[in-house]
Structure 1
Amino acid sequence: MTTPTTHGSHPEPFYPEQGEYIAPDAVRTLLPVGAEAAGTTMLFIHAHPDDESTSTGATMSHYARAGARVELLTMSRGEMGEVIGDEHARLDVRTRPSHDTGDELGHVREGELNDACRALGVRGHRFARRNGAAGFFRDSGMSWGKHGRAESASNAADDCLSRARLKESAAAIAEVIEELRPDVVVSYDVDGGYGHPDHRRTHEATIKALHMLPAHALPVLVWGVEGEADPDDERQQAVVDGDAATKKLAMAAHQTQVTVGEDMTFHYSNGVEQKISGRETYRLLARVPHDDEDPSECEPAGPVSSSVTGLSLGLIVGFIGTLFHASIGYFSGWYLPWGLVLALILVLSATVWTAHVTRRAWATVLPGVSAFILVGFFVYARSDSLLVIPNPSVAIGQVGIAWVLGIVAMTLLGEWIANRHILRSRR
């Protein structure tokens, strides 16, 4: 977790660092199960020009290069932006006349956005249109609070995005989704990244839009750009490692808003240096199951239930397997440890089943761990125990050793199967 730096009585503006935390079960794609980039439509929904590049630029260019149809919807034209450089300094919201609503700055930023979209490989771009009214949603602007967090601006216009009715902004998003029919939608998480009121409103409007759409127009997956890292967040995390150089190029197109350094850093008008990262992380906001898919399988089980399920199943498997692992068929000069085979199949099945039910990578190994501990107790708790006899000089002892080691082997095999064929369905 990042804490804002304080300079005297004025805290430094807070921006979360992308890729700061990667969950153990994070997936490496934003695409639906079994989907390839080619033939997939992705809609990115952002609040202002430059947000697409600074927040999701690496991801957008990554999928565009892979063959996906990458579309962008921008909710406002950034009329309330603070301007960098002398060329358009007179358009800066901090210095221009109060009657200037920022239309000229919005026009400049439209041009910058077009250049950025070309750099990212965006197939199509549009601005959200007001429903039943002329023009666009206006940028709400923002201010920095006493703790370095973004807050609403005192001079926000009446027709700005954050003051518009939620139903109106949601309808604008729903209209575009229904037109494009994207497989994947990407917007902000509930905190809007660093708290900008327009980012938060865009998140709210995106979620509201999903409830306004007919079932046939719903995207399969909806992701939110991850803001401040939270290891306790149980929602599915996705990590995309894209090209930081392309992202940097797109960011440089927004000359009035972003200063890109010679190294992989940038800053806004406030001068706070940030890293340009090719790694961008997301949290799953919504998923629409396929017609033949159980909706209960869309989300992983909670950590407590996953732990109880895995450990309890392991104790049961360890006990049952121990009871019949020593069942042996003897023949002339050789023997068949059929009980051991069944016991090991039981361990493998328990491992794979746990992965399927919990949808958590770490829970997959719990049956094997608890079974191994239980069998170890049977071996070492009493020297005269007849449940497991680890003696290589006799057949039943060889089977006992194979049972102990086989639990480890079957757990590793089950984990490999789960990661490749079950948990991969969330990637």
Structure 2
Amino acid sequence: MTGAARGRRLLLVHAHPDDETIMTGGTIAHYLAQGAEVAVVTFTLGEEGEVIGRRWAGLVADGGADQLGGFRIGELSAALAELSPDGAEPLQPRFLGGAGRWRDSGMAGAPSSRNPRALVQAPLADLVAALLDELREFDPQVVVTYDAVGTYGHPDHRRVHEVCAAALAQHTAATGRPVKVYESVTEDSALRRGLADAAGRVPAGWRMPEPGELPSYPDAEITAQVDVGAVVGRKVAALAAHATQVTVAPSGTEYALSNTIVQPVFAVEHFRRVDDAAPPAGAPRETDLFEGIR
């Protein structure tokens, strides 16, 4: 562990297993390689996910064995191990309130969202209290969450954003210590470059996205970026570990979910800083999420 990294604590909150790798896998691997303390808190087991392929198709919730959530704990554990440095103790999953406390709500309007155990049905106060327990125990200087629209509108992503904002407000009020807060987002120009590069090698059965189909933010709204090129191979391996949800292209530079839409694997991950001390528009981008923290 380097002297600069000692004492650095990064908390990432995600809705389902695989979100951590898709959105922030490079950042997790980058800071673990530096020797920082990293915690990934996942709110549900991803029980309502659509399974790719036939091997594990019977695990699904709708008309299947409803065993997918337990299986995805193993996928998440394998992915976090891929993101961990060689020879180090693998990063272990943490689940809000304990594994299985709250259930994947499914997409907006799905019958699963009415399940009494669904994340969107849980009282906000209960979710906030559970995340406050994580904040008190881990005491991060930096937290990564979702934007208010939940990246692509998933109800659980929006719920994570809401819970994180409320819990952080209470935590900072109680401790008097500010926390740097970032939303994980996609830079528009990076997405366009990645898709242009991928256009000539789309695997059979996959398709390019329609204009605007993949969410992104204007470049001017990006306030931080982390170069994860040195660990992008770990990110690719972690994506492959989520095999029920993700397929990695033979090139290792793209992936697809069950919708078969091509998405680039980014060697730079982008963020919007949203805490009260966030820099003004037009300020130079941060290249270290711990910038300014002693």
| TM-score normalized with structure 2 length | 0.77
In structure 1, how many angstroms separate the alpha carbons of the residues matched to 2:50 and 2:157? 17
Please tell me whether the aligned partners of residues 82 and 93 of structure 1 are also in contact (alpha carbons under 8 angstroms).
no
| Residue 237 in structure 1 maps to residue 223 in structure 2 | yes
Which of the residues 226, 250, 253 maps onto 2:185?
226
- More displaced 10-residue stretch of structure 1: 51-60 or 273-282: 273-282
Corresponding residue SS for 1:286: coil
Amino acid of the residue matched to residue 69 of structure 1? E
Q: Which residue of 1 aligns with 2:53?
A: 85
Corresponding residue SS for 2:243: coil
Q: Which residue of 2 aligns with 1:148?
A: none
Distance 1:167 1:249, change over 3 A: same
In structure 2, how many angstroms separate the alpha carbons of the residues matched to 1:361 and 1:64? 25
In structure 2, how many angstroms separate the alpha carbons of the residues matched to 1:125 and 1:71? 8
Corresponding residue SS for 1:193: helix
CA deviation after TM superposition for structure 1 residue 244, in Å? 1.9
Please tell me whether the aligned partners of residues 44 and 119 of structure 2 are also in contact (alpha carbons under 8 angstroms).
yes
In structure 1, how many angstroms separate the alpha carbons of the residues matched to 2:176 and 2:160? 19
- Segments of 4+ in structure 1 off by > 4 A? none
Distance 1:217 1:260, change over 3 A: farther
In structure 2, how many angstroms separate the alpha carbons of the residues matched to 1:302 and 1:283? 11
- The Cα offsets for residues 253-278 of structure 1, whole Å up to 9 and x where unpaired, read as 11111111111111111111111112
Distance 1:165 1:85, change over 3 A: same
- The Cα offsets for residues 191-218 of structure 1, whole Å up to 9 and x where unpaired, read as 2211111111101100010122253275
Which of the residues 68, 74, 83 maps onto 1:120?
83
| Residue 171 in structure 1 maps to residue 129 in structure 2 | yes
Q: Which residue of 2 aligns with 1:52?
A: 20
Aligned length: 248
Q: Which residue of 2 aligns with 1:324?
A: none
CA deviation after TM superposition for structure 1 residue 425, in Å? 4.7
CA deviation after TM superposition for structure 1 residue 301, in Å? 4.6
Which of the residues 271, 279, 284 maps onto 2:273?
284
CA deviation after TM superposition for structure 1 residue 165, in Å? 1.7
In structure 2, how many angstroms separate the alpha carbons of the residues matched to 1:261 and 1:119? 18
After the TM superposition, which residues 245-260 of structure 1 pair with which residues of structure 2 at under 5 Å, given as runs? 245-260=233-248
CA deviation after TM superposition for structure 1 residue 94, in Å? 4.7
In structure 2, how many angstroms separate the alpha carbons of the residues matched to 1:42 and 1:425? 14
In structure 2, how many angstroms separate the alpha carbons of the residues matched to 1:165 and 1:190? 18
Q: Which residue of 2 aligns with 1:212?
A: 170
Amino acid of the residue matched to residue 203 of structure 1? H
Q: Which has the higher contact order (CA 8 A, sep 6+)?
A: 2
- More displaced 10-residue stretch of structure 1: 78-87 or 222-231: 222-231
Q: Which residue of 1 aligns with 2:87?
A: none
Please tell me whether the aligned partners of residues 112 and 118 of structure 2 are also in contact (alpha carbons under 8 angstroms).
no
Distance 1:91 1:221, change over 3 A: same
Which of the residues 18, 25, 34 maps onto 1:66?
34
Structure 1: gaps of 5 or more residues = 1-34, 143-150, 288-297, 304-359, 363-418
In structure 1, how many angstroms separate the alpha carbons of the residues matched to 2:177 and 2:240? 34
| Residue 261 in structure 1 maps to residue 249 in structure 2 | yes
| Residue 129 in structure 1 maps to residue 92 in structure 2 | no
Q: Which residue of 1 aligns with 2:103?
A: 138
Please tell me whether the aligned partners of residues 82 and 94 of structure 1 are also in contact (alpha carbons under 8 angstroms).
no
Please tell me whether the aligned partners of residues 247 and 278 of structure 1 are also in contact (alpha carbons under 8 angstroms).
no
In structure 2, how many angstroms separate the alpha carbons of the residues matched to 1:185 and 1:82? 29
| Residue 270 in structure 1 maps to residue 259 in structure 2 | yes
Amino acid of the residue matched to residue 183 of structure 2? G
In structure 2, how many angstroms separate the alpha carbons of the residues matched to 1:110 and 1:45? 16
Q: Which residue of 2 aligns with 1:351?
A: none
Q: Which has the larger radius of gyration?
A: 1
In structure 2, how many angstroms separate the alpha carbons of the residues matched to 1:43 and 1:425? 17
Q: Which residue of 1 aligns with 2:207?
A: none
Please tell me whether the aligned partners of residues 18 and 239 of structure 2 are also in contact (alpha carbons under 8 angstroms).
yes
Distance 1:46 1:219, change over 3 A: farther
- The Cα offsets for residues 205-259 of structure 1, whole Å up to 9 and x where unpaired, read as 00010122253275521111125213464xx611011122110101111111111
Identity of aligned residues (%): 38
In structure 1, how many angstroms separate the alpha carbons of the residues matched to 2:137 and 2:284? 37
Q: Which residue of 1 aligns with 2:112?
A: 155
Amino acid of the residue matched to residue 105 of structure 2? S
In structure 1, how many angstroms separate the alpha carbons of the residues matched to 2:70 and 2:284? 49
In structure 1, how many angstroms separate the alpha carbons of the residues matched to 2:154 and 2:42? 15
Amino acid of the residue matched to residue 283 of structure 1? R
Q: Which residue of 2 aligns with 1:18?
A: none
Distance 1:237 1:84, change over 3 A: same
CA deviation after TM superposition for structure 1 residue 158, in Å? 2.2
- The Cα offsets for residues 304-345 of structure 1, whole Å up to 9 and x where unpaired, read as xxxxxxxxxxxxxxxxxxxxxxxxxxxxxxxxxxxxxxxxxx
Amino acid of the residue matched to residue 250 of structure 2? E
Corresponding residue SS for 2:217: coil
